[in-house]
């Protein structure tokens, strides 16, 4: 079946260090979405990538979509304590019922001040 694998599962960094999480799909995706979940909260949409090789930036966050549209990464430059949370990637798998959005396992980021 459809699978979205995400690594690492946990990442502990010192404030100011960089952070990267990687996402791989078992099949080619039409797009990849990224979400952030703060501790005790619900997932919140960050961004969507659609084009092969696409790179998008949101302040200190850089998102990439692979050339084959099967992998993606999120890189945070100079982490801050406000970056704490779990980051999920998600890919849509289309079918006759409109498709389903499958999430990776998430990467939990902790930042030590």
Binding-site ranges for other proteins (CB under 8 A): 1, 6, 9, 30-31, 33, 35, 41-45, 48, 88, 90, 92-95, 97-106
Give me the least distance between CB of 16 and other proteins, in Å please: 28
Contacts of 15 (CB under 8 A, 6+ apart): 79, 80, 81, 111, 112, 113
Query: 17 or 108: whose CB is closer to other proteins?
Result: 108
Give me the least distance between CB of 111 and other proteins, in Å please: 20
Query: 15 or 57: whose CB is closer to other proteins?
Result: 57
| Percent helix, strand and coil across the chain, each to the nearest 5 | 5, 55, 40
Give me the least distance between CB of 9 and other proteins, in Å please: 7
Query: 44 or 55: whose CB is closer to other proteins?
Result: 44
d(CA 56, CA 70): 17
Give me the least distance between CB of 55 and other proteins, in Å please: 19
Q: Extract the tokens encoding 48.
A: 């969507």
d(CA 35, CA 52): 20
């Amino acid at each position: 079946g459809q699978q979205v694998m995400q690594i690492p599962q946990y990442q502990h960094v010192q404030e100011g260090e960089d952070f990267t999480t990687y996402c791989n799909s078992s099949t080619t995706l039409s797009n990849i979405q990224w979400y952030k979940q703060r501790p005790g909260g619900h997932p919140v949409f960050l961004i969507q990538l659609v084009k092969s090789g696409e790179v998008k930036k949101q302040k200190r966050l850089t998102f990439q979509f692979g050339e084959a549209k099967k992998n993606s990464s999120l890189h945070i430059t100079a982490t801050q304590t406000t970056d704490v949370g779990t980051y999920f990637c998600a890919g849509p798998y289309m079918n006759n019922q409109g498709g389903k959005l499958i999430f990776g396992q998430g990467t939990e980021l902790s930042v030590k001040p």
